[in-house]
Amino acid sequence: MHPEPGRAWLPTKTLQYVEQCVAHWVMSADVMTFMIPAISKETPHGPDRLNVDHYADHLDGLVLQGGADVAPESYGETPLRPEWSGDRIRDVYELELVRAFMQRKKPVMGICRGMQLINVAFGGTLYQDIAVQTGSDTKHQCRQHYENNFHRVRILPSTALAALYPQVTEATINTIHHQAVKDVGRDLVIEARSTDDDIVEAIRWQGPSYVVGVQWHPEFMSPDDPSLLDGKPLLDEFLAAARGR
């Protein structure tokens, strides 16, 4: 969160945050989670010798949480509207993290914005706004209902995601995004699509380490609701990769 002059608290400061639900979702498997602060020179106490490689050396896996739009500049475009400018500063930092973890063959999971960033990391592009650029009338984002906005997803056969959910061909997921994958990045495979408008909902790298992205928020969906896709198989797969199994 960048400085905002009208903000009541810390109006001149950059704030770095982790959303509690995503941290608790990972921690539900009895693993420790840490926020990864950006390494920057914008304060007088910025570190001289640290870089993202040190994070990748010491941590077992990387989860990219949701948040602000990915900036169109990050995939070679200009914003179609000012409000779709995204957060280029965050993009640059998170792209560095993705590359550092991949170089060490450590797993990366992207959720919502995180999936979009993974696609961009592999040279893909995004719809800056689904409704405007595709004409879809599916409500992928509803500010009134937020995480309680749902639609159906189709898990594509013969994919690793289908193997994780062997009894599931379609499921209900939440949806909180107006941007989405347009051109799929190199060596990425689509694993799920929205049943209504075919929007990409899950991707996976075909390279030597685990890199997976989902457009929905498993951390916001109750594990006690049988009508929703259970996020536990996805989390277990990611953590197995982090443990090297």
Q: What is the pLDDT of residues 98-131, one digit of tens each?
A: 999 999 999 999 999 999 999 999 999 999 999 9
Q: Do the domain assignments include residue 38? A: yes
Q: Do the domain assignments include residue 13? A: no
Per the annotation, the verdict on 112 as an active-site residue is yes
Q: Do the domain assignments include residue 211? A: yes
Q: Do the domain assignments include residue 130? A: yes
Active-site option among 140, 151, 177, 217: 217
Q: How confident is the model at residue 128, as a pLDDT?
A: 98
Q: Do the domain assignments include residue 12? A: no
Q: What domain range includes position 42?
A: 20-242
Q: How confident is the model at residue 48, as a pLDDT?
A: 87
Q: Do the domain assignments include residue 9? A: no
Structure tokens at 210: 């685990």
What does the pLDDT look like over 16-51, one tens digit per residue?
Answer: 999 999 999 999 999 999 999 999 878 888 888 999
Active-site option among 96, 191, 219, 237: 219
Per the annotation, the verdict on 170 as an active-site residue is no
What pTM was estimated for this model as a whole? Answer: 0.96
Nearest to 159 by CA among 214, 99, 222: 214
Q: How many domains would you assign to the chain?
A: 1
Q: Which residues of the chain have pLDDT under 70?
A: none
Nearest to 242 by CA among 95, 73, 66, 109: 109
Query: Which residues, 6+ apart, have CB-to-CB distance to 244 below 8 Å?
Result: none
Active-site option among 112, 140, 177, 191: 112
CATH number of the structural domain spanning residue 104: 3.40.50.880
Query: Which residues, 6+ apart, have CB-to-CB distance to 129 below 8 Å?
Result: 80, 81, 84, 178, 179
d(CA 220, CA 238): 18
Q: Report the SS3 class of residue 174.
A: strand
